[in-house]
Amino acid sequence: MKVEEIRFEEADRQRIAKLILHARQAAGYWDSSMEISRVEEILSRDFEGLNVKLISIEEDGQIKGSILLKVNDDNTAEINPWFLGGLPIVSPSAKNGNELASTLLTKALQSAMRIGVTRVEALFPHDVHSEQIKTMFKAHDMELIEEIEHLRSPLTELVVSTPDIPIEGNVVRLSDIDRAQLFDCWYKTFTTGEDRSILSRNEKERRVFFEEGFDLTKEWVDKASLAIIAEKTLIAFALIRSTHGRENAHLWQFGVHPEHRRKGLAKGLLKRIFEKLIELGFTTLSLNVDVSNFPAYHLYKSLGLKREWGLVCYAWKERE
């Protein structure tokens, strides 16, 4: 067994694409129409120019397994993100698949630790969350962080099902809010809530998460990204981005200050956002929510948002 770690730019992408194609087809994610050249194109599109390491295992001259470790910043990294499915990729012909997967995961975590990364995440579909996978992650000190559901519904249905609750305060655009004021409200909202992703992060990681989440250099829907100001204090906020062209709006960030919860502010603000999105020509709204965040989950389900798919997130964290 030969284990190799190289930069993504140095990889033989055709060989890696062939392994990925066969593994994903065997798992039922892709049908026979998917081609190696297309996998190569996606690899180049998604990872070219990023800080990505390729860890692979070769036996008898054949690549039997691989992990792409995408380093996001000084603190965080991801394992096989996006279309790669979040789990170690092992050839369906490998007789020692579990051993190969475990070895790949070990090498990926060791690589991350060598460069000072303090958090490594693996995000994968809920329908493959087997006892075998749970055991593998537990053996590598990776904890279950989130069980995410992706919800979506037509805006015409949401605007009808959402009550028109009066808002005490002024509704303004998020772009008018001072950055420091936004961070203060966001921090108090999520560190006192039930979102496991935020609660599992240290202070530095939370700051990075905020800056990435509210990166306004990326495309966002300014006219529908709203906030509420009461007595010169920010008490609620929402950031909307467009996905799937201009048809779907995604609720990227949403929160209500802990001192102003259970007053109907969430529904009142969402109602206005739904109405504005319809004016702008959007047809559906989507969002991701951790099922253990019961207040948020039940709010969205009560409005009629429907589950489309689920993801599970595990994370290795440096011990403090």
User: Model confidence over 86-112: pLDDT tens digits?
Assistant: 999 999 998 889 999 999 999 999 999
In whole numbers, what is the pLDDT of the chain averaged over residues? 92
Give the Cα separation of 85 and 88 in Å (integer): 8
Beta pairing class for 306-317 and 142-154: antiparallel
Name the helix (H) or strand (E) containing 89: strand 89-90
Q: Give residue-wise pLDDT tens across range 270-302.
A: 999 999 999 999 999 999 999 999 999 999 999
Q: Which CATH architecture has domain 2-140?
A: 3-Layer(aba) Sandwich (3.40)
Q: Which one is the CATH code of 150-310: 3.40.630.30, 1.10.150.120, 3.40.50.620, 3.10.580.10?
A: 3.40.630.30
How many alpha carbons fall within 13 Å on the CB side of residue 14?
1
d(CA 277, CA 297): 21
**Which pLDDT does position 217 carry in this prediction?**
81
pLDDT of residue 163: 83
Q: What angle do CA 36, 95, 90 make, to 5 degrees?
A: 35
> Can you read off the two tokens belonging to residue 19?
């392994």
- The predicted-structure confidence for 17-44, as pLDDT tens digits, reads as follows 999 999 988 888 888 899 999 999 999 9
Banded model confidence at residue 245, pLDDT cuts 50, 70, 90: low
pLDDT greater than 80 at residue 143: yes
Q: Domain locations in the chain?
A: 2-140, 150-310
Q: What is the pTM of this model?
A: 0.86
DSSP structure class, residue 177: S
- Tell me the CA distances in angstroms from 16 to 58, 68, 124, one per residue in order: 11, 10, 20
Degrees (nearest 5) of the Cα angle 299, 301, 306? Answer: 145
Please report which confidence band the pLDDT of residue 123 belongs to, taking 50, 70 and 90 as the band edges: very high
Residue 307 tokens, joined: 């589950």
What pLDDT, on the 0 to 100 scale, is given for residue 152? 96
Q: How far is CA 230 from the centre of its chain?
A: 31
- Is the pLDDT at 215 greater than 80? The verdict is yes
pLDDT of residue 115: 94
Q: Where are the beta strands (DSSP E) in the chain?
A: 2-7, 52-59, 62-71, 76-79, 89-90, 119-125, 142-154, 170-173, 226-230, 233-243, 248-256, 284-290, 306-317
Mean pLDDT, range 240-254, rounded to an integer: 89
Q: Which residues pair with 79 in a beta bridge?
A: 69
* Within this chain, domains 2-140 and 150-310 share the same CATH topology: yes
